[in-house]
Amino acid sequence: MNGSDADGGGGGGGAADPGIDGQPSSGDAGAESAAVDAAVGEPIVEPAVAEALTAAPAAADATLEGADRAARPDRVSSILVAVGPGPHSGATVDVARGIADATDAWLELFHVVPSDAALADGQARTEGTDGSDETDATEGDADGSEPGAGDSDDYAATGERLLDAARDRLGGFDRVDRWLVEDRSAAGAIVEQSPYYDLVVVGAPTTGTVGRFVFGSTTDTVVDDAEVPVVVVEGDGETALDGA
């Protein structure tokens, strides 16, 4: 899987192995100085999130969870951004860029597609890949048949389009890599990679109380289990990335 050796087991490095573009992530680049107005040694994540929220009109809210998990509270050099089709996905990318602008961090656009094993047992139908809890990739085919391993290419193509849309939304921002990964669980993949980054940014949950009880929430799992701080972004209206 992508990712570099974490500093002492915590966040602090971007991906070192080739990502989907065949280029290594550069999570440590530009980390020597931060754009936010914070003294050396002071926590930087919270003011960076506040600044990013102010600069992202599409975002209604951005909540910092698990701030005490930061291995280096005064540094953010790499950010894992969960990219998916949920209604908060555009705002999620906007806030992630704002944080990166404020901290000189690198972004890793990260999309999870269901593995063959997940397709075989139908696990993929319970969660999106940006932190939301809905996805059309697992509701079965139009004729009502269940999705199978043969659909994996379709999911990958949709994932590529979402990553393209996220990259386009970043505009001229160039400290970015992208990664499409197969896994049984979007939440599990994000949590597994979290130690290799300083921060994770995900979209807010989108299901109601019953859905969250039955299926669980990708966002809740990431917030509970990630080894670094997590920023949960809520969009102001419909800001979904176009993966069609």
Hey, what are 16's tokens? 């070192």
pLDDT score at 120: 82
- The enclosing domain of 163 has a CATH number of 3.40.50.620
Structural domain containing residue 138:
45-226
Structure tokens at 31: 């980390």
In a domain, 159, yes or no: yes
19 near 179, Cβ under 8 Å?
yes
pTM score: 0.75
Q: How many domains does the chain have?
A: 1
Q: For 173-196, what is each residue's pLDDT tens digit? A: 999 999 999 998 899 999 999 999
Residue 135 pLDDT > 50, yes or no? Answer: no
Residue 154 lies in a domain: yes
Domain assignment present for 30 = no
User: Would residue 37 count as lying in a domain?
Assistant: no
In a domain, 12, yes or no: no
CB 191 within 8 A of CB 222: yes
In three-state form (DSSP H/G/I as H, E/B as E, the rest C), the secondary structure along 101-127 is HHHCCEEEEEEEEECHHHHHHCHHHHC
Length of the chain: 244
The position carrying tokens 């102001």 is 236
* Alpha carbon of residue 36 to chain centroid: 22
| Residue 232: inside a domain | no
Q: Is residue 84 part of a domain?
A: yes
Q: Is residue 143 assigned to a domain?
A: yes
Q: What is the pLDDT of residues 34-78, one digit of tens each?
A: 466 555 568 899 999 999 999 999 999 999 999 999 999 999 999
Residue 42 dihedral angles phi and psi, to the nearest 5°: -85, 150
